[in-house]
Amino acid sequence: MLLSYNSIIKEGHMRLIIIYLLTFSVFANDYFPDDNWEVRDGSSLGLDEAKIDKLFKLTFEDSATMSAVLIKDGYIVKEKHAEGFDKNSYGTSWSTAKSFYAALIGISLDKGEIQSLDEPVGNYIDSYNRDGKEDITIRQILNMTSGLEFPSHEHEMMFFEENHLEYALEVGVESTPGEKFQYNNVNSMLMGEILKSATGKTAKELIDERIFSKIGIRDYTAWVDSAGNTLTYCCLDMSARDYSKFGLLFSRDGRWNDNQIISEDYVEESLQLYWGKTPSMGWSHSDTRGYSLQWWISKYDDDAKIYNTSGKFGQFVFIDKERDIIFTRITKYYPSGGEVQKFGALSYLKFLGSVNAAIGVSRVLYNLGLISFNDGSVQTPYTLEEGESNEFYENYVEIVEAMADLED
C-alpha cells in the first residue's frame, strides 16, 4: 500500500527525532569534570588494575616525576604525586604549551578570523611579505616545515631574551618551506602574533576566554616576556589535573558538555600522522614519533593511536582518543611567582650562547645560594635538576605501549 505524503513527512520527522535522541543520549552519557572530579576504579571502566599499576611504576621509576594522572571516560582512575606535592601542585609545561596555543588557531579558523591554514603568514605578520618569507604558510608554521633558520639549540636561546617576539621576527629563511621537518621554537612563537593580528587580542587573553574559562581551568599562569608577548612556544603553569582537562577536550573532539569549543574538523586534522617519522632530538624514541599541527604522535598502528603534547624535561599529556584515555605526567617544579618573565641576576645567560651552558651555570648559582626562585628577584619558569627526566625518556616507548595495553 502506498504511503500518503503526510505519512512520509511524519515518518521522516520521527526518524529525525530518533536520531536526535540517540545522539543526545550519547552526549548526555559523556562525563565531564567540574570542580569536583569523580574517581572510579579502573576495573569498572574496563581497565586492568595490574596494567594500570605497571604504567605508574614505569612512570615513577624516574625520580623527576612529580605527578601523574590517568583518566578513562572522563573519570580519574588513578592519581599519584611525589612526596611534598599534591593535586594542586603546579607543573610547568615547557613545549606542551605549543599544543594548547595551536588550538586557538583552530578556533580562529572556526570563527572565520583566519581563512585557511594555507594562507601566507604575511597576511597577518607584515615582515613575512619580504626577505624570502612570502611563501611560508600558517600550516607550515604549525607543522614545523617553515624553512626558517634552524640552529643547533632550536632557538631555545630565545627564552633568555627580554623580547621573544622581536627575536623570532628577525630569524631568516634557510631552506624551501614545506620540504622538511625541523623542530623550531620560532614557529610556535609566531602563533601569538598571528592570533593578535587576526583577533586584536593576545594569546594570553584568548586562551582564557576561549578555552580555559569554558573547561574549568582557573588556577594557572600563562607567562609573558618582559615586553608583554605571550610565550606561545613554551610556558603555561598548572596542575596535572588541569593539563588533563585539555587532553580530554581533544579526546572528545573539541567538545565540552554541550559546547563545541574547537571544531571536530580541526581536532581531527591536528591528530593526523602528517610526519610519520621525525629527526632525532637526542631521544632514542624520536624516530618512532610523528607530528602534526603542534602535536606529537607516538603510536599509530592497528593496536592504538596515541597522541601527545611534549615538553622539555618530560612534560606529557597523552591521548588515546579511540578509548577515551588520558595520561598526564609532569616533573618536579617550584613556581617562582609572577607571570612576567624577569631574569634579574640571570639576565646575562643569553650571552653564553648555549642552552646547556645557561642551565648549568644557573643551577650552580642556585645550589650555591647565590640566586633564588622564590624571593621575587628572578621570575620565570625554571626546572631544577631534580625535575629533569632520565628514566622516563628511557622507558618512553614502553610507557606508550603500556598505555595502549590498559584494557582487560
Residue ranges in the chain whose pLDDT is less than 70: 1-29, 276-288
Q: Determine which helix (DSSP H) or strand (DSSP E) holds 327, and give its type and residue range.
A: strand 325-331
Domain presence at residue 152: yes
Q: How far apart are CA 93 and CA 312, in angstroms?
A: 8
**Number of domains comprising the chain:** 1
149 lies in some domain: yes
Q: What's the pLDDT at 9?
A: 45
- CATH at 267: 3.40.710.10
Q: What is the DSSP string of 328-365?
A: EEEE-----S-SB-B-GGGGGGGGG--HHHHHHHHHHH
The answer to whether position 236 is within a domain reads: yes
CA distance 15 to 206: 40
In whole angstroms, what separates CA 368 from the centre of its chain?
34
pTM above 0.85, yes or no: yes
> Is 43 contained in some domain?
no
Q: Is residue 265 part of a domain?
A: yes
Considering the domain boundaries, does residue 336 fall inside one?
no
Q: Which of 270, 243, 327, 324 is nearest to 69 (CA)?
A: 327
Asked, for residue 14, whether it belongs to a domain, the answer is no
pLDDT in tens, 296-328: 999 998 999 999 999 999 999 999 999 999 999
Query: Can you name the residues that pair with 81 across neighbouring β-strands?
Result: 67
Please write the tens of the pLDDT for every residue from 273-283: 877 655 555 54
Domain containing 274 equals 79-311
Q: What is the DSSP letter of 277?
A: S
| Alpha helix segments (H runs only) across 30-114 | 49-60, 96-111
**In this predicted model, what pLDDT tens digit does every residue of 362-395 receive, in sequence order?**
899 888 888 888 888 889 999 999 999 999 999 9
Asked whether residue 74 is assigned to any structural domain, the reply reads no
